[in-house]
Amino acid sequence: MKTSIKLLTGLSLGLLGTGMASAQVTDNTLQDKEGFYVGGNYGYLKVDGQDDFDDDNDMWQGLVGYRFNRYIAVEGSMVDFGDYGSDVSNADTDGYTAAVKGMLPISENFAVFVKGGQLWWESDYDVGGVAGSYDDESLFIGAGVNYAFTRNLSVNAEYTIYDADLDADELSDNFADSDFNTDLKQASVGIEYRF
C-alpha cells in the first residue's frame, strides 16, 4: 500500500507540475464553475487480499461535493464495492468517504485532479461457514482527469486505492490466521453535474 501511495502521489505531482508549467488557462475556462456538484462513477474493482479474498468485480459510487474554486473542492461519497471472494471465503463491502480534492485545469476543457481522505466501511463476511460483520475506517488516495463539456456537465476517469484491513476479532477463535489485509483498487469512469 505504501509503495502504491508513493507511486500514485509521485505521478499526480508530476502531472500537476507538467500542467502548471505548460497550461495557459484563461479566466473563461469551463473548469471555473464553483458551487455544489453531484455525480456517479462506475468501474472495475481489483481486490488484493489474502488467499480466497483476491477477486475482481464491478463497483459503483455516488458522490456529492462542493468546489470552492477551480483548484480545490471537498467531496463525499457512498461506495458499493460489491461481493468478492470465493465459495469458501467471501465478503460484501460498502462504505462512505470524505475527501479533499485538488484540481489543476490544463486547458479550457481538461483538468487533472488528486484526492485523498477517509473511508468508513463495513463488510459482511463468510469464511468457511462462519459469518459476521466487521466495520473500520481506512485512508485512501486517488488521481484522475476531468473533461468539461459545459460549465455544468463533465466526465472523469480516476484510479483510487483504499487500504482496508479485515482483522475480524470473531475470526481469531476459529482460524489461526485472522489477518485479512485487503487493498481495494478502483478504476472508474463517471459523470459530474455542477449546479
> Which CATH number does the domain housing residue 122 bear?
2.40.160.20
Where does the chain have alpha helices with state H?
2-22
Task: Examine residue 28 and state whether it is found in any structural domain, yes or no.
Answer: no
34 lies in some domain: no
Q: Is the pLDDT of residue 180 over 60?
A: no
The answer to the question of residue 31 being in a domain is: no
Average model confidence (pLDDT) for the chain? 81
Could you tell me if residue 156 is inside a domain?
A: yes
Domain count, the chain: 1
Q: What is the pLDDT of residues 121-166, one digit of tens each?
A: 998 888 778 888 888 899 999 999 999 999 999 999 999 999 876 5
- How far CA 172 is from CA of 93, 164, 182, in Å, comes to 20, 18, 17
The residue segments making up the domain with residue 50 are 2-23+39-194
Neighbours of 100 (CB within 10 A): 12
Q: Is there a domain that residue 174 lies in?
A: yes
In a domain, 108, yes or no: yes
pTM of the model: 0.77
Closest CA to 140 of 97, 85, 89, 189: 97
